[in-house]
């Protein structure tokens, strides 16, 4: 079985490498060192000066990917992790859809101004990403949150599906905090783009709070037959699996084919020595899972305390 897995990984690894032979074995330095630093090899891996792309001619060198992980390592992670993520989603999501279909007591519609805010920010993202030739970066977590918000605001969904979109939005809203804590505006080159970076990330925190505060979404269990704890454990597993599947499979392949280090799927975040090495992506998904857990746990705690306080106030009023 082990030899079969390695054979499959080897074959898939060769195919993965063929997607982009231009990638270097190591990331180019963020700042010019030799005056002729190379960002990409030739189309077929050539080192001829007439075929390579020099970093001095490439404006987004900080976004360049590499074979920090070997093609075989990429293939192994795809072969092992993707079926696990799919299995988790397949086993758990149907029951969660049924639970969301039983939810009652939440308000319909959207908080005032949220659809306009979502449409405006999404349009600004498309404008800046198109202008900067970074349209692929719409697949990084914070930009995916805007796409979820637009789907929620302007899609015509059944109750269970709308509930799933809400659960995803609230689960992933915690990813905004690292972006605000360690901002990287080095690729924000156009007028007002740095300001928009801060504005849109703060808005991503405000939007879930607005939905929660107006009673349009809840992380508490909609059914007495399923405890809030178990309800959130299941959602935590599904959202972690969905996140992992999306980034370890399609986004990784797009990163390799494009040469861009989308969501750090080709090499670790710079300026740190903690999440490094061949297992850095496994450590990263562990950190992401912890962040989702803390995000959902914090929201459930606030919701539960608020609900208990309301019940106590109603009893006193009687």
Tell me the pLDDT tens digit for each residue of 255-300: 999 999 999 999 998 777 888 999 999 999 999 999 999 999 999 9
**2 pLDDT exceeds 70?**
no
Counting Cβ atoms within 10 Å, is residue 34 exposed (0-12), middle (13-18) or buried (19+)? Answer: exposed
- Token pair in block for residue 134: 């970074």
Residue 27: which residues within 8 A CB-CB, separation 6 or more? 64, 65, 66, 68, 261, 267
Residue 121 and residue 140: Cα distance in Å, rounded? Answer: 15
Strands annotated E in the chain: 38-40, 53-54
Per-residue pLDDT tens over the stretch 68-97: 999 999 999 998 999 999 999 999 999 999
- Token pair in block for residue 245: 């599947």
Higher pLDDT, 202 or 27: 202
For residue 11, the model assigns a pLDDT of 82
Residue 297 and residue 119: Cα distance in Å, rounded? Answer: 29
Residue 32 and residue 54: Cα distance in Å, rounded? Answer: 10
- Token pair in block for residue 214: 């107006």
Poorest-confidence range of 123-132, 163-172, 264-273, 293-302? Answer: 264-273
For residue 273, the model assigns a pLDDT of 84
**How is residue 54 annotated by DSSP?**
E
Whether residue 163 contacts residue 202, with contact meaning beta carbons closer than 8 Å, is answered with no
Ramachandran region of residue 263, left (φ > 0), alpha (ψ -120 to 50) or beta?
Answer: left
Number of H-type helices and E-type strands within the chain? 10, 2
First to last CA, the chain: 68
């Amino acid at each position: 079985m082990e030899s079969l897995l390695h054979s499959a990984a080897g074959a898939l690894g060769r195919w993965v490498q063929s997607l982009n032979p231009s990638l270097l074995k190591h990331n180019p330095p963020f700042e010019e060192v030799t005056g002729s630093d190379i960002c990409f090899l030739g189309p077929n891996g050539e080192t001829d000066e007439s075929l390579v792309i020099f970093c001095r001619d490439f404006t987004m060198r900080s976004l360049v990917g590499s074979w920090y992980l070997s093609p075989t390592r990429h293939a192994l992670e795809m072969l092992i992790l993707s079926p696990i993520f799919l299995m988790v989603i397949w086993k758990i999501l149907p029951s969660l859809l049924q639970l969301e279909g039983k939810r009652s007591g939440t308000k319909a519609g959207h908080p005032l101004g949220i659809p306009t805010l979502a449409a405006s920010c999404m349009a600004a993202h498309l404008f800046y990403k198109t202008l900067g030739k970074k349209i692929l970066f719409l697949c990084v977590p914070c930009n995916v949150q805007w796409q979820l918000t637009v789907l929620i605001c302007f899609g015509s969904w059944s109750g269970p599906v709308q509930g799933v979109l809400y659960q995803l939005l609230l689960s992933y809203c915690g990813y905004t905090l690292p972006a605000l804590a360690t901002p990287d505006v080095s690729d924000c080159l156009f007028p007002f783009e740095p300001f928009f970076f801060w504005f849109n990330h703060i808005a991503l925190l405000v939007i879930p709070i607005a939905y929660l505060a107006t009673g349009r979404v809840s992380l508490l269990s909609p059914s007495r037959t399923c405890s809030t704890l178990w309800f959130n454990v299941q959602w935590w597993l599904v959202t972690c699996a969905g996140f992992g599947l999306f980034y370890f499979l399609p986004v990784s392949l797009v990163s390799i084919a494009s040469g861009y280090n989308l969501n750090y799927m080709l090499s670790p975040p710079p300026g740190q020595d903690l999440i490094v090495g061949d297992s850095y992506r496994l450590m990263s998904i562990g950190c992401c899972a912890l962040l989702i857990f803390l995000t959902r746990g914090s929201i459930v705690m606030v919701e539960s305390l608020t609900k208990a306080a309301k019940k106590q106030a109603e009893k006193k009023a009687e």
